[in-house]
Amino acid sequence: MIKDFSMPKNFLWGGAIAANQAEGASEVNGKGMSLADVHKLYPDKTNEEIQAIQHKGMTKRQVEENITDKEGYYPKRHGIDFYHSYPQDLKLLSEMGFKTFRTSIDWTRIFPTGDEEKPNEAGLKYYDNLIDKISELGMEPIITMLHYETPINITLKYGGWNNRDVIPLFVKYGKTLLERYQRKVKYWIIINQINLIQFEPFNSTAICYDQVDNYLEAKYQAVHNQFVASAEIVKFAKQLNSTLKLGTMVADSTTYPFSCKPEDVILALERNRMQYFYTDVQLRGAYPQYALNYFKENKINLKIQESDLKLLKNNTMDFMALSYYYSQMVNSEKNDMNSLTTESNPYLKSNPWGWGVDPLGLYNTLSQYWDRYQKPIMIAENGFGMYDKISADGKIHDQYRISYLAEHIAAMKRAIYNGANIFAYCAWGPIDIVSCSSAQMGKRYGFIYVDLDDEGHGSGKRIRKDSFNWYKHVITTNGAEL
């Protein structure tokens, strides 16, 4: 990288959380129950076993039992009490110099079951105050409309997102948010990580796998319905306020070939195209032929109306948002087109959850997406989950997190240097929150330690980690000093 390279002057440095992992207050002011509220803590299972549960999804009976369960602990119903503590927590982020803060609005605070005629005013008022506080502290709010917070009623009554009747329910919710906050929020991510239907099928689609005959088909139908709903919201937004910017978000699930063996290279190519499928539709506006072929070959028969295709073509996204944590590899002798089948990279070190640390992978994926679409990119999530410990001096010395983030920010800077229009960097979980995948509190990402354990015990005290001052300096120098 040339020595005189400098970051864009108005670059948005900040962090991101999700409402369902932070807010708690699950029964306050009329909130309904969401998908996140039925995720149970499994204290006696290994990380691998918990991951397998996440990948499999849930049955309708499991959902119904978890709703009424009085014995198990459901961490996302409690979070870190951000619902009440946000003024103090946001002040800590402001102390670091945050230019932006990304969070989600919980659908079930606005429409508790998803199909009410009128929104819950108490929920809207809460987000009025939250967004105002973000702006008051000098941060640009970035709001996600759906971050795994589909009302559980959508699962039980409608069978999840593969039911087309869910489209107008979500569109009504999206329009309600845009009308209410159009002068407060410029950047909107409509659906978080829309591509994770195999990694987090229940969170993504709200479908119980025993509700359908063909689970794979149902998941792709759910995605199509989300595409249509998103396009309807984009169409409405452009008519409402032309200054609004709406984007789609994917988790990077692209892969490297295991070797230079041609079969490995081609498997990686074809796997990657089925990851680009989501952004091809939402940024280019059409279903690519390779995806149509994949559906036909796998007996996936989607119900797509002619009007859907026109809507998608005419209402593409303004930007793409990306989450990146680790990279993956595929071996043609062991893996197939299933996104869950991957190989460990022997050249990388991993965290306790098996996520291989690969800063160059971020440079690679940012470059590939920029070259493919030439549309602005937001890094909506990037972070390092680890078991943090309070040292004898009462502090948290998380040099491992500093090293991870410094190397990934350097990779981002390299992509910008080579032409990529990246306008925001949101470190994931700038304050410790409940893990999405494992529901653990001990899987920590933050610059700020929250004194709570996996079962919610603790003082709740906030403690600045070493990475707090490090990231503050990164922002002060606009990324010049890492």
* pLDDT tens digit sequence for 420-458: 999 999 999 999 999 998 899 999 999 999 999 999 999
pLDDT at residue 324 in the model: 98
- Burial classification of residue 62, based on how many CB atoms lie within 10 Å of its CB (0-12 exposed, 13-18 middle, 19 or more buried): middle
d(CA 263, CA 258): 10
Q: What is the reported pLDDT for 5?
A: 83
Provide the pLDDT for residue 3: 65
Helix (H, G, I), strand (E, B) or coil at 482: coil
pLDDT tens digits for 282-324?
999 999 999 999 999 999 999 999 999 999 999 999 999 999 9
CB 123 within 8 A of CB 83: no
What is the pLDDT, as a whole number, of residue 85?
Answer: 98
Model pLDDT, residue 84: 98
pLDDT for 461-473, tens place per residue?
999 999 999 999 9
β-strand partners of 60: none
Question: Which 3 state secondary structure label does DSSP give 261?
Answer: coil
Q: What is the mean pLDDT of residues 17-21?
A: 98
Angle subtended by helix axes 359-373 and 399-417, to nearest 10: 30
User: What pLDDT shows up at residue 47?
Assistant: 83
CB 258 within 8 A of CB 199: no
Amino acid occupying residue 431: I
- 442: domain CATH number is 3.20.20.80
Return the percentage of the chain with pLDDT > 90, whole number.
Answer: 94
352: pLDDT strictly greater than 60: yes
What is the structure's pLDDT at 13? 98
> What is the mean pLDDT of the segment spanning 235-251?
98
Q: What is the mean pLDDT of residues 36-48?
A: 91
Query: Residue 238 corresponds to which tokens in the numbers above?
Result: 């452009």
Q: Are 3 and 412 in contact (CB under 8 A)?
A: no
With residue 377 as reference, give the H or E element that holds it: strand 377-381
pLDDT tens string 122-176: 999 999 999 999 999 999 999 999 999 999 999 999 999 999 999 999 999 999 9
Question: Averaged over 61-86, what is the pLDDT?
Answer: 97
CB 186 within 8 A of CB 193: no
Element (H, E) at 277: helix 262-279
What is the value of pTM for the model shown?
0.97
pLDDT tens-digit map of 373-389: 999 999 999 999 999 99
Mean predicted lDDT score pLDDT of the chain: 96
48 or 158, which is more confident?
158
The answer for residues whose C-beta is within 8 angstroms of residue 202's C-beta and 6 or more apart is: 35, 57, 58, 208
**Dihedral over alpha carbons 105, 170, 373, 383 (to 10 degrees):** 30
CA quadruple 333, 336, 342, 347: dihedral sign: positive
Residue 5, number of CB atoms within 10 A of its CB: 11
Residue-wise pLDDT for 96-105, tens only, equals 999 999 999 9
Sequence-ordered list of residues with C-beta below 8 angstroms from that of 137, at least 6 positions apart, any chain:
90, 91, 93, 94, 98
Residue with tokens 């072929």: 293
Is residue 3 a part of any domain in this protein?
A: no
Domain that holds residue 252: 12-476
For 2-16, give the DSSP string.
-TT----TT-EEEEE
d(CA 359, CA 415): 12
What confidence tens digit (pLDDT) does each residue in 393-403 have? Answer: 999 999 999 99
Cα 402 from Cα 467, distance rounded (Å)? 6
- Domain total for the chain? 1
CA–CA dist 260, 330 (Å, integer): 11
**Would 286 be classed as within a structural domain?**
yes
Q: Binning pLDDT at 50, 70 and 90, where does residue 2 land?
A: low
Does the pLDDT at position 4 exceed 80?
no
Report pLDDT for 226: 98
CB 79 within 8 A of CB 434: yes
Does residue 5 lie in a domain region? no
Token readout for 375 is 């549309």
Q: Does residue 1 surpass a pLDDT of 70?
A: no
Domain assignment of residue 481, yes or no: no
pLDDT score, position 432: 98
Per-residue model confidence as pLDDT tens digits over 184-214:
999 999 999 999 999 999 999 999 999 999 9
Distance (Å, whole) CA 19 – CA 27:
14
Percent residues over pLDDT 70 in the chain: 99
Residue 57 falls within a domain, yes or no?
yes
- Is residue 35 in a domain? yes
DSSP 140: E
Average the pLDDT over 256-277 and give the result. Answer: 97
Whether 355 has a pLDDT exceeding 90, the answer reads no
Cα–Cα dist 396/449, whole Å: 8
CA distance 82 to 92: 13
